A and B are shown apart, each in its own frame.
Chain A
Amino acid sequence: MKITYREAMRQALHDALAADPRVFLMGEDVGKYGGSYAVSKGFVEEFGPDRIRDTPLSELGFVGAGIGAAIGGMRPIVEVMTVNFSLLALDQIVNTAALYRHMSGGQFSVPVVIRMATGAGRQLAAQHSHSLESWYASVPGITVLAPATVDDARGMLAPALADPDPVVIFEHALLYNFEGELTDAWRTADIRSAKTLRAGRDLTLIAYGGTVWKALEAAVQLAAEGIEAEVVDLRVLRPLDDAAIMDSVRRTHRALIVDEGWRTGSLAGEIMARIMEQAFYDLDAPVARVCSEEVPIPYAKHLEDAALPQVPKIVAAARTLAGKGAAA
């Protein structure tokens, strides 16, 4: 069955709200407006304003309240409109949610789920377009997810809610309208493993969120040139599934990471370091990466396109990595 990413997420939220009275959704415009990305359209009529709770523009306050409600026995799903706005709530997410269990000597768990849109590509300019997943993925105590497929949009929320600790879910804004085939795999989605979306013997493309689809498209083009690229969808950004990454790299001996975050301090950099630590002697070439340019994402379409990882850049980097040179 074909379904949009938005619809998959909507169904996941609906299931969660219907299944457990402790679950509630809170955030800016999740209720009367129907969600800034229309994910929760119609929910307030069905579940009421207590469980589909519109909040003021107080990211620090309402994310902190979600964390407190989780400690108090509820299972809140807090929606932050975009990762860019989540910086206003960073204190509560990092200094409270992530640390709470350890610094209390294990006395309290924080079963909160925080969802936020991320990524560029819609000409929303510098303050609505960044990918800061790596910031969150560097913090012990939280699990960080990046569903890229409709199966994962449908399936990852339930295990995230079942997790007794904080989980942050990144939804790439360009994916909401994306349509994909929903398979039964969503019913067994986990929040620990990476997944190989395409098999290949020549090199491994490692991607997450919005770049997964660019990597898959690049793989199709590379196949036409006789380069068989394997595509690994990370799915989980913390903890990283080292075993899946190394398993693929040990077979292909070449790895290219595609990451919409800025290069410096990127998740791509962390993955490269891990490959070097764990699979250095299996490599036939230095690990490569395609990241966003180190610039605030600009408004003008041609400049925005140039700032982001794009299929031609991925293909070119893959060719070089595979030893096929830059020619085509």
Chain B
Amino acid sequence: MIALRSRSVFPLTVAAVALLFLGLFLLYPVIAVFHVSFLDKTGAFTLDNYVRILGRSFYQQSLWNSLGIGALATLAATAVGVPLAFCLARLPVPGKSAILVLAALPLVLPSFVGAYALVLLFGRAGIVTHALQSLGLPTGSIYGTPGLVWVYTLTLYPYVLLPTLAAFKAVDVSIEEAGQNLGASRWRVFWTVILPVVIPSVLSGALLVFMETLENFGVPFVLAEDKPILAVEAYKLFVGEVAANSASAGVLATLLVACTTAALLLQRYYLGRRRFATGARTAPPELRVGHGLRWLATAFSWGVALAALLPFLTVLAIAFLEYRGPVLHPNLSLGNFADLWHRSSRPLVNTVTLATSAALGAALLGVPVGYVLTRFRSGLSSILDVVAMMPFAIAGTVLGIGLVVAFNSGPLVLTGTPVIMVIAYMVRKLPFNVRASSAILHQLDPSLEEASINLGVSPVRTFVQLTVPLMLGGIVGGMVLTWVTVASELSSTVILYSGPWATMTVVMFEALEGTGAGIAAAAAAVLILATALPLLLVYRLLRRYELAMT
């Protein structure tokens, strides 16, 4: 226990700053969205917006599509992630650590670039489609449900893989041996003992997948075509090519928040507590299996890891080929990059500036919050805990709309400034920074800090001079992850950016809508490199905290 009276200034200050920040830039905007959805044109209260929007089958369809495609993708990601986790935990698959490095990448690579790659390959004018057509073979459409489920599965399966892998490794081998000793076959032990023990981890990862699909904006924007999807329709209504309609957008945004919040609550408060700890000191040994199974497991593990990265590699390759108008020619060329650069180098600078500011800001706010949550238990810290996790439940689209609505007028006008973009990123990445820093703190004995205080260094100075250096590896890791995910952020960026502050993702987004296929590919390649390289550089730092992400 910590002496709250004598040391309460620090946690109170941190909690106050964090609650103020999130209250102003998360709660207030979200409430503003709710508020707008209940107003008519004169500003009076009405339920008309809901009646009107929900009465249209197009928007009803968008809700069912989002939920249905999310459910399918969740099932598929689970079907891929669980066997893969088992292969990596218990079967003799060569190159496991390499697979793990590769498998963690899709989580941070921009998923809409993956979707774009699919279009480049299998789309109407796709390379593979062309090739098949020229051979006179039939081609199916990847637009709509099949493409969305495919992309979601391959980019989100690590959410299931990582916790499930940890759970498989945490199964004490003696409970397996006990099962066998009591007369159960290996197969029976797997179904009756091991699987039930890991199920809570699987479900909790699966719900994260589901939430991500609901929130995702870029992938359906690229692949859904005329299939309505909640996050995309909310955006379209809000920016409205004909007439912007924030009330209608607010209705869809409210629906989206309701769905994601339900999923988050289920994940946190039901599954988060249903963990069976079996207290394994060492991971259970690899099973001895025959050659056939071994090959199968190896092919499957490497196959999944590579298939998930293939779209990104494709985009990288295509970016270095020559485009003449929309037609691709098989000549090596840096022309796409030259075009991208000549158009403007500003977006790249913007991306770097904004991502760096956001990474610094999120760490500056998130690390002290993580510290207070881990080291000071009080009523205030449980409120802080709930509020700091809320950004998880708010889709980028919703946050973007909310920030615009809230800071469009009044005493604090931020709409159109880069500040509002940085704020949106900080809010969205805060939960990750908080959890990453509390994960490290759980490994740091509190008596280290007490020893420092006992030796005459005040709590605040102890935090700065001892705790932060000890947490540094994790803090840097968290900042790099924040940086790369911000660099590829699309959903709130497209709503919040103003002309001169367009980012690389915006360039890609615009190129997708227009003609510049070559420029889009080059922009996508830059994004891939900008996210993958820093990650691989600090991979050692990150590995210890990869589970903090889920």
Q: Do A and B bind each other?
A: no
Q: Contact residues of B with A, CB < 8 Å?
A: none
